[in-house]
Amino acid sequence: MAGRSGSKKGGGLGRGLDILFEDSMINDEVSVENKGENNSINFISVSDIFPNSAQPRKRFDEAKLKALADSIKEHGVLQPIIVRPHASRYEIVAGERRWRASKMAGLEEVPCIVHDFTDRENMLMALIENMQREDLNPVEEANAFHEMMNMYGLTHEEISKTVGRSRPYITNSMRLLKLPQEVQELISEGKLSGGHARALAGVGDTDEQLRLARLCVEKKLSVRQLEKMISNNESRSAKKGRTRDPEIKAAEERLTKIVGGRVSLPSSKKKGKIEIHFSSPEQLDSIIKKLSEISED
């Protein structure tokens, strides 16, 4: 049958997904009624499959899909799509790119592994698959972490262990969601890299974030050039601060010693805000720990 393949494993899957392929066998006869837990490989009609509702990936490169479709036409689908039963159809858990490319290639059915995943497992599998392939842009990744925390109550530490990233990485990633929407869109479109995004997230002023983001796109600035620009701006701000109220300066110095990161108070005696600066994920982690200790006292 056109497009069929054996149970050959493709590359790129981690241990969490590979375990589902152990002892897999081709099963030529599959019906929608066969919806129980079933780790054998089944061929299912592409029309009986629909995308993952928890898919963290929102953008699919059409050129890359076309290239994958051409490969599938010649070699078939070498890596089964993982699905879970849903009513009379099947929801994709992992492998939406392969499903889309298979439809583009004109296949009527694709090899699948059917497994009864919970909603939480479904979301985690979709996220981990995309992360292992580095398919998510920084904003999609940050949104996925945010969903794991909000929908399933996972802490940053638990998310860290689940996806194999450091806790500072998770914290820094989620900071991107505080960037202006326009900046997030530039990141999603690939006009700004993850390095640009992390540097901009450290800028305290929203208008300045927008200005710098637009400048990066217009001038095609590298991450290093952006970081240098931000550093120079902070230096100029620090020089201006030397002429400010000595009591404000004293408060900044005291807070800096307490939290272990440079603190600035762009404020008057009556009102203002506190800004804590850090130069690395490790320093941020240290600051968070100190603030946590203070709150527990």
What are phi and psi for residue 275, nearest 5 degrees? -115, 130
CA trace torsion 221, 224, 230, 233 (10° rounding): -90
Q: Is the torsion defined by CA of 78, 80, 81, 86 positive or negative?
A: positive
The pair of three-digit structure tokens given for residue 246, joined into one six-digit string: 């000595």
Look up residue 105 and give its two tokens.
Answer: 């290639």
What is the length of the chain?
Answer: 297
Q: What is the DSSP letter of 9?
A: P
* Catalytic, out of 91, 96, 109, 129: 96
Report d(CA 90, CA 92) in Å as an integer.
Answer: 7
* CA 71/CA 110 separation, integer angstroms: 14
Give CA angle at 250 (244, 253), nearest 5°: 110
Active site residue 185: no
Evaluate whether 77 touches 102 at the Cβ level (below 8 Å).
yes
Q: Which of 96, 188, 182 is nearest to 142 (CA)?
A: 188
Residue 69 phi/psi, 5° resolution?
Answer: -60, -40
Strand partners, 42: 27, 112
- Alpha-carbon gap, residue 66 to 254, rounded angstroms: 59
| Residues belonging to the active site | 96
